[in-house]
Amino acid sequence: MNFDFLYFLAQPWFVIPWYGFGILAAAWSVYDMLMVNTQVNAPLKAAWPIIIVFFSVLGLAFYFWTCRPPGVATMNEARKEEVHHDYVDNLFFKTTGALIHCVGGDGLGIMTAMVALRLIGVSFWVEFWIEYVVGFAFGWLIFQLWAFLLHGNSLGEALFKAFRAEFFSMMTVMIGMGLVMANVTPKLVGEPPTPDMAAFWGFSAFGLLVGTVLTVPVNLALIKLGWKNGMA
Protein backbone atom coordinates (compact mmCIF):
# COMPACT_ATOMS: atom_id res chain seq x y z
CA MET A 1 0.00 0.00 0.00
CA ASN A 2 1.23 3.49 -0.84
CA PHE A 3 1.42 5.79 2.19
CA ASP A 4 2.94 8.81 0.43
CA PHE A 5 -0.08 10.94 1.35
CA LEU A 6 1.06 10.71 5.00
CA TYR A 7 4.50 12.18 4.36
CA PHE A 8 3.40 15.50 5.86
CA LEU A 9 3.66 13.78 9.26
CA ALA A 10 7.44 13.88 8.86
CA GLN A 11 7.58 17.59 8.06
CA PRO A 12 8.47 20.25 10.68
CA TRP A 13 5.96 22.69 9.12
CA PHE A 14 3.20 20.33 10.28
CA VAL A 15 4.63 18.75 13.44
CA ILE A 16 5.78 21.94 15.19
CA PRO A 17 2.43 23.79 14.94
CA TRP A 18 0.56 20.55 15.74
CA TYR A 19 2.39 20.01 19.01
CA GLY A 20 2.71 23.73 19.72
CA PHE A 21 -1.05 24.10 19.64
CA GLY A 22 -1.43 20.83 21.56
CA ILE A 23 0.79 22.01 24.40
CA LEU A 24 -1.00 25.35 24.71
CA ALA A 25 -4.42 23.68 24.52
CA ALA A 26 -3.39 21.10 27.13
CA ALA A 27 -2.28 23.87 29.50
CA TRP A 28 -5.63 25.60 28.99
CA SER A 29 -7.50 22.32 29.63
CA VAL A 30 -5.72 21.94 32.98
CA TYR A 31 -6.86 25.42 33.98
CA ASP A 32 -10.38 24.74 32.68
CA MET A 33 -10.79 21.48 34.60
CA LEU A 34 -9.40 22.96 37.81
CA MET A 35 -11.31 26.26 37.70
CA VAL A 36 -14.35 25.89 35.42
CA ASN A 37 -15.24 22.35 34.32
CA THR A 38 -14.50 21.10 37.82
CA GLN A 39 -16.70 17.98 37.91
CA VAL A 40 -14.40 15.98 35.61
CA ASN A 41 -13.05 13.10 37.68
CA ALA A 42 -9.44 13.22 38.84
CA PRO A 43 -7.94 10.53 36.54
CA LEU A 44 -9.52 12.23 33.52
CA LYS A 45 -8.15 15.59 34.64
CA ALA A 46 -4.71 13.99 34.37
CA ALA A 47 -5.41 12.08 31.15
CA TRP A 48 -7.07 14.76 29.03
CA PRO A 49 -3.98 17.03 28.81
CA ILE A 50 -1.89 14.06 27.60
CA ILE A 51 -4.46 13.31 24.91
CA ILE A 52 -4.62 16.96 23.85
CA VAL A 53 -0.82 17.26 23.57
CA PHE A 54 -0.65 14.35 21.12
CA PHE A 55 -3.93 14.92 19.26
CA SER A 56 -3.77 18.72 19.31
CA VAL A 57 -6.83 20.36 17.75
CA LEU A 58 -8.58 16.98 17.47
CA GLY A 59 -8.04 16.30 21.17
CA LEU A 60 -9.31 19.73 22.20
CA ALA A 61 -12.37 19.39 19.98
CA PHE A 62 -13.09 15.98 21.50
CA TYR A 63 -12.77 17.45 25.00
CA PHE A 64 -15.31 20.18 24.20
CA TRP A 65 -17.68 17.71 22.56
CA THR A 66 -17.66 14.88 25.07
CA CYS A 67 -16.57 16.29 28.42
CA ARG A 68 -17.51 19.98 28.71
CA PRO A 69 -21.24 20.74 29.07
CA PRO A 70 -22.33 23.93 27.27
CA GLY A 71 -22.62 26.91 29.63
CA VAL A 72 -20.63 25.28 32.42
CA ALA A 73 -18.71 28.50 33.08
CA THR A 74 -21.90 30.24 34.29
CA MET A 75 -22.99 27.51 36.76
CA ASN A 76 -22.42 27.10 40.49
CA GLU A 77 -20.79 23.90 41.75
CA ALA A 78 -24.05 22.13 42.61
CA ARG A 79 -25.44 22.83 39.15
CA LYS A 80 -22.15 21.77 37.52
CA GLU A 81 -22.32 18.41 39.29
CA GLU A 82 -25.88 17.79 38.16
CA VAL A 83 -25.31 18.89 34.57
CA HIS A 84 -22.00 17.06 34.16
CA HIS A 85 -23.51 13.82 35.44
CA ASP A 86 -26.38 14.07 32.98
CA TYR A 87 -24.13 15.19 30.11
CA VAL A 88 -21.75 12.21 30.25
CA ASP A 89 -24.42 9.65 31.15
CA ASN A 90 -24.76 8.02 27.74
CA LEU A 91 -22.97 5.08 26.17
CA PHE A 92 -20.90 7.09 23.70
CA PHE A 93 -19.56 9.56 26.25
CA LYS A 94 -18.92 6.75 28.75
CA THR A 95 -16.90 4.99 26.06
CA THR A 96 -15.02 8.23 25.45
CA GLY A 97 -14.15 8.44 29.12
CA ALA A 98 -12.87 4.86 29.06
CA LEU A 99 -10.79 5.70 25.97
CA ILE A 100 -9.21 8.74 27.61
CA HIS A 101 -8.24 6.75 30.72
CA CYS A 102 -6.79 4.05 28.50
CA VAL A 103 -4.97 6.04 25.83
CA GLY A 104 -3.73 8.73 28.21
CA GLY A 105 -1.90 6.21 30.39
CA ASP A 106 -0.87 3.87 27.59
CA GLY A 107 0.28 6.68 25.35
CA LEU A 108 2.37 8.33 28.07
CA GLY A 109 4.05 5.01 28.88
CA ILE A 110 4.63 4.06 25.25
CA MET A 111 6.11 7.44 24.37
CA THR A 112 8.33 7.53 27.46
CA ALA A 113 9.76 4.14 26.52
CA MET A 114 10.01 5.03 22.83
CA VAL A 115 12.07 8.15 23.49
CA ALA A 116 14.55 6.22 25.64
CA LEU A 117 14.77 3.21 23.33
CA ARG A 118 15.26 5.24 20.16
CA LEU A 119 18.13 7.08 21.81
CA ILE A 120 19.72 3.77 22.79
CA GLY A 121 18.96 2.04 19.49
CA VAL A 122 17.35 -1.40 19.74
CA SER A 123 15.69 -3.78 17.28
CA PHE A 124 12.04 -3.39 16.29
CA TRP A 125 10.66 -6.25 18.37
CA VAL A 126 12.71 -5.40 21.46
CA GLU A 127 11.38 -1.86 21.23
CA PHE A 128 7.82 -3.05 20.60
CA TRP A 129 7.62 -5.33 23.63
CA ILE A 130 9.34 -2.94 26.03
CA GLU A 131 6.95 -0.21 24.95
CA TYR A 132 4.08 -2.64 25.46
CA VAL A 133 5.18 -3.47 29.00
CA VAL A 134 5.85 0.15 29.99
CA GLY A 135 2.60 1.38 28.42
CA PHE A 136 0.67 -1.40 30.17
CA ALA A 137 2.27 -0.52 33.51
CA PHE A 138 1.43 3.18 33.16
CA GLY A 139 -2.14 2.43 32.14
CA TRP A 140 -2.72 -0.25 34.78
CA LEU A 141 -0.93 1.11 37.84
CA ILE A 142 -1.67 4.79 37.38
CA PHE A 143 -4.79 5.66 35.41
CA GLN A 144 -6.90 2.49 35.61
CA LEU A 145 -6.02 1.73 39.24
CA TRP A 146 -6.69 5.33 40.25
CA ALA A 147 -10.14 5.21 38.64
CA PHE A 148 -11.14 1.93 40.31
CA LEU A 149 -9.93 3.10 43.71
CA LEU A 150 -12.19 6.14 43.37
CA HIS A 151 -15.13 3.76 42.98
CA GLY A 152 -14.64 2.37 46.47
CA ASN A 153 -12.80 -0.83 45.61
CA SER A 154 -10.20 -2.25 47.95
CA LEU A 155 -6.62 -2.16 46.69
CA GLY A 156 -6.75 -5.85 45.73
CA GLU A 157 -10.08 -5.47 43.92
CA ALA A 158 -8.90 -2.31 42.18
CA LEU A 159 -5.68 -3.96 41.00
CA PHE A 160 -7.59 -6.91 39.56
CA LYS A 161 -10.29 -4.83 37.88
CA ALA A 162 -7.73 -2.35 36.53
CA PHE A 163 -5.61 -5.21 35.13
CA ARG A 164 -8.66 -6.80 33.49
CA ALA A 165 -9.68 -3.53 31.83
CA GLU A 166 -6.14 -2.60 30.84
CA PHE A 167 -5.31 -6.00 29.34
CA PHE A 168 -7.87 -5.71 26.56
CA SER A 169 -7.51 -1.95 26.04
CA MET A 170 -3.73 -1.91 25.79
CA MET A 171 -3.68 -4.81 23.34
CA THR A 172 -5.56 -2.84 20.70
CA VAL A 173 -3.73 0.43 21.34
CA MET A 174 -0.37 -1.28 20.82
CA ILE A 175 -1.60 -3.07 17.71
CA GLY A 176 -2.34 0.35 16.21
CA MET A 177 1.06 1.70 17.21
CA GLY A 178 2.79 -1.42 15.90
CA LEU A 179 1.05 -1.26 12.53
CA VAL A 180 2.28 2.28 11.99
CA MET A 181 5.78 1.53 13.29
CA ALA A 182 6.14 -1.57 11.09
CA ASN A 183 4.28 -0.62 7.92
CA VAL A 184 3.99 3.15 7.55
CA THR A 185 7.03 4.84 9.05
CA PRO A 186 9.68 2.64 7.36
CA LYS A 187 8.15 3.16 3.92
CA LEU A 188 8.23 6.95 4.28
CA VAL A 189 11.38 7.71 6.29
CA GLY A 190 13.39 4.47 6.25
CA GLU A 191 15.19 3.94 9.55
CA PRO A 192 13.14 4.52 12.73
CA PRO A 193 13.26 8.27 13.41
CA THR A 194 14.82 9.54 16.62
CA PRO A 195 13.30 12.09 19.04
CA ASP A 196 15.25 14.94 17.46
CA MET A 197 13.34 14.43 14.18
CA ALA A 198 9.90 15.76 13.33
CA ALA A 199 8.97 12.36 11.88
CA PHE A 200 9.33 10.73 15.31
CA TRP A 201 6.64 12.94 16.82
CA GLY A 202 4.41 13.02 13.75
CA PHE A 203 4.23 9.27 13.30
CA SER A 204 3.98 8.68 17.05
CA ALA A 205 0.87 10.83 17.22
CA PHE A 206 -0.55 9.06 14.17
CA GLY A 207 0.19 5.62 15.61
CA LEU A 208 -1.49 6.56 18.86
CA LEU A 209 -4.50 7.84 16.93
CA VAL A 210 -4.76 4.56 15.00
CA GLY A 211 -4.54 2.67 18.29
CA THR A 212 -7.28 4.86 19.75
CA VAL A 213 -9.61 4.08 16.85
CA LEU A 214 -8.91 0.35 17.13
CA THR A 215 -9.65 0.29 20.84
CA VAL A 216 -13.05 2.00 20.56
CA PRO A 217 -15.06 -1.26 20.17
CA VAL A 218 -13.04 -2.87 22.96
CA ASN A 219 -13.81 -0.06 25.38
CA LEU A 220 -17.44 -0.06 24.30
CA ALA A 221 -17.62 -3.77 25.14
CA LEU A 222 -15.91 -3.18 28.49
CA ILE A 223 -18.46 -0.48 29.35
CA LYS A 224 -21.34 -2.78 28.43
CA LEU A 225 -19.85 -5.59 30.54
CA GLY A 226 -19.48 -3.21 33.49
CA TRP A 227 -15.71 -3.68 33.51
CA LYS A 228 -15.15 0.05 32.98
CA ASN A 229 -17.04 3.07 34.24
CA GLY A 230 -16.44 5.78 31.66
CA MET A 231 -16.55 9.37 32.90
CA ALA A 232 -18.75 8.80 35.95
pLDDT surpasses 80 at 229: no
State the residue range of the domain holding 180.
4-225
Query: Residues 6 or more apart from 156 whose CB is under 8 A from it?
Result: none
In this prediction, residue 147 has a pLDDT band, given cuts at 50, 70 and 90, of confident
The DSSP output letter for 183 is I
Within-domain flag for 110: yes
Q: How far apart are CA 170 and CA 174, in angstroms?
A: 6
In this prediction, residue 169 has a pLDDT band, given cuts at 50, 70 and 90, of confident
Within-domain flag for 232: no
- Check if the beta carbon of residue 181 is closer than 8 Å to that of residue 122: no
In this prediction, residue 232 has a pLDDT band, given cuts at 50, 70 and 90, of low
pLDDT surpasses 90 at 90: no
For the entire predicted model, the pTM comes to 0.92
Average of pLDDT values for 41-56? Answer: 95
Within-domain flag for 202: yes
Q: What is the pLDDT of residue 231?
A: 60
C-alpha distance from residue 90 to each of 41, 87, 98, 129, 180 (Å): 16, 8, 12, 35, 32
Q: What is the pLDDT of residue 191?
A: 85
Averaged pLDDT score across all residues of the chain: 92
Count the Cβ atoms, other than its own, within 10 Å of residue 60: 21
C-alpha distance from residue 129 to each of 7, 122, 197 (Å): 26, 11, 23
Report which listed range, 56-65, 93-102, 213-222, is most confident. 56-65
CA 34, 38, 42, 45 torsion-angle sign: negative
pLDDT surpasses 60 at 1: yes
Q: What is the pLDDT of residue 209?
A: 96
The DSSP output letter for 154 is -
pLDDT surpasses 90 at 197: yes
Would you call 68 helix, strand, or coil by DSSP? Answer: coil
> CB-based burial of residue 86 (10 Å sphere; 0-12 exposed, 13-18 middle, 19+ buried)?
exposed
Instruction: For the chain, give the percent of residues with pLDDT over 90.
Output: 69
Cα 131 to chain centroid, rounded? 15
Q: What is the pLDDT of residue 150?
A: 84
Q: What is the pLDDT of residue 174?
A: 93
Q: What is the pLDDT of residue 89?
A: 86
Domain count, the chain: 1
Within-domain flag for 230: no
Within-domain flag for 231: no
pLDDT surpasses 70 at 75: yes
DSSP E strands, the chain = none
> CB-based burial of residue 154 (10 Å sphere; 0-12 exposed, 13-18 middle, 19+ buried)?
exposed
